[in-house]
Amino acid sequence: MFSPSSWVAVRAPRLFPLTKERAKPAVPLAGKYRLVDIPISNCINSGLRRIYVLTQFNSASLHRHISQSYKFDHFSGGFVEILAAEQTFSDTSWYQGTADAVRKNLIHFLNHEFEYLLILSGDQLYRMDFRSIVAQHADTDADLTVATIPVPRQDASSLGILHMDSERRITHFHEKPKDPAILDKLHLDRASYSTLGIQEDRELFLASMGIYVFKREVLIRMLDNNLTDFGKHIIPDAIKTHRVFSYVYQGYWEDIGTIRNFFEANLDVTNELPRFNFFDMAAPVFSRPRFLPGSKINGAQIDHAMVSDGCIINHAKITSSVIGIRSVVGAGSELKRVISMGCDFYESLSSIEESTRQDRPRVGIGQNTRIENAIIDKNARIGDNCVISPAGKPENLDHPLYFIRDGIVIIPKNGVIPHGTVI
């Protein structure tokens, strides 16, 4: 069985400015990871070790992270290989969608012997053993299996919603249905709740997770056209002509589609019982080994926080926050509901002295600064005696020094907030 997993690094305007200089799957997660570490780790923990990553937009940092993180030995036959969008003699266009990306790389996939092909997204937070969906796919003799998750009505209009029969065969599929009349016909039959192991009593719908298993020959036939997207084009057409089944997943799953979703999913890891447990060593999340020292805490008060490697936190107060690698937090500062992505480097003494002469903040968070409900991107310089908060401001705002999205202040990568600034 050959199971390449593909993600297309595309433009993600709803995650701007976090995606201003990086692809969405390369956005830092939970202090020390990247979003792309989640699907790759799920593959490795499921015994699937021949993985392709399809990339296109702003992908340099994503390529660097993958090449430095995932190296298999010469004898296992495993690999994580990047397939960047490229122009050829037969096609000069870039990827036009998920299906188009897979189509343009079929020449590489078909060089291997495999029975099933697993396709994933690179920007979701979940833990799944893919052996279960592949086993169901084989048992039902499906041509295509779509992983689905039950969601309430308020979430259904923003996802691909499908309906299945008693054998879990998909009969209808609608991409982001807005019409209440259509939704009324797509809700999950309550009689099937007990069969599916659903404990809830509210109205639920089955949403596509963007995870697909194809038979080899079926995928080749389905891509013998100019259709560009799996969710919008390939799957709705396939339902009419092929055996398309639903694999119902009921664990935690979050599509990191907006700044608010990203912010809340990160802060959730600071809870005593987070919905996604990074401490589950039965299925660990892998990432790049950085060989950093343990974090140094100099008299700080820390409550419900995730502190990553290599940090220096002085007499500060940190509550419900994620502190990324190599973060420096000055004395007297207060952080509440803050995601600090940390730094790519430690600032040298000469650089700190030069910044002091120029009255420019050093890398990290200065002294006596208060920050709440904010995302501090990598390598940012936050000065002393600053106040950063979205209180009393619009839900969305662009400013030369910062951005506000979904009511959250974002200091962009390499951003500089001068001493004494009040946001």
333-362: pLDDT as tens digits: 999 999 999 999 999 999 999 999 999 999
> What integer pLDDT is reported at residue 8 of this predicted model?
44
Asked if pLDDT for residue 3 goes beyond 60, the answer is no
At residue 240, what are phi and psi to the nearest 5 degrees? -75, -20
Q: Give the whole-angstrom CA distance, residue 419 versus residue 381.
A: 10
Q: Give the whole-angstrom CA distance, residue 46 versus residue 34.
A: 19
Asked if pLDDT for residue 89 goes beyond 60, the answer is no
Q: Give the whole-angstrom CA distance, residue 389 versus residue 334.
A: 12
Asked if pLDDT for residue 375 goes beyond 90, the answer is yes
Per residue in 127-149, pLDDT (tens digit) is 999 999 999 999 999 999 999 99
> What integer pLDDT is reported at residue 19 of this predicted model?
93
> What integer pLDDT is reported at residue 194 of this predicted model?
87
Q: Where are the domains of the chain?
A: 13-268, 296-417
Angle among Cα 280, 286, 290 to the nearest 5 degrees reads: 120
- Token duo for residue 35: 């979003």
Per residue in 212-239, pLDDT (tens digit) is 999 999 999 999 999 998 988 999 999 9
Q: Say which residue, 41 or 90, is predicted with more confidence.
A: 41
Whole-angstrom CA distances from 246 to 43, 190, 206, 211 are 20, 17, 9, 10
Angle among Cα 200, 202, 206 to the nearest 5 degrees reads: 85
Per residue in 233-288, pLDDT (tens digit) is 999 999 999 999 999 999 999 989 899 999 999 999 999 999 999 999 999 999 99
Q: Give the whole-angstrom CA distance, residue 54 versus residue 84.
A: 6
- The band of 59, judged by pLDDT with boundaries at 50, 70 and 90, is confident
Q: Say which residue, 4 or 159, is predicted with more confidence.
A: 159
- 238 and 222 in contact (C-beta within 8 Å)? yes
- The band of 90, judged by pLDDT with boundaries at 50, 70 and 90, is low
Fold: same for 13-268 and 296-417? no
Q: Give the whole-angstrom CA distance, residue 318 versus residue 234.
A: 48
Question: What's the CA dihedral at 24, 30, 36, 38 to 10 degrees?
Answer: -140
> What integer pLDDT is reported at residue 92 of this predicted model?
60
Contacts of 99 by beta carbon, 8 Å cutoff, 6+ apart: 223, 227, 228, 229, 230, 233, 234
Q: Could you tell me which CATH number the domain at 296-417 has?
A: 2.160.10.10
CATH 2.30.42.10 fits 13-268, yes or no: no
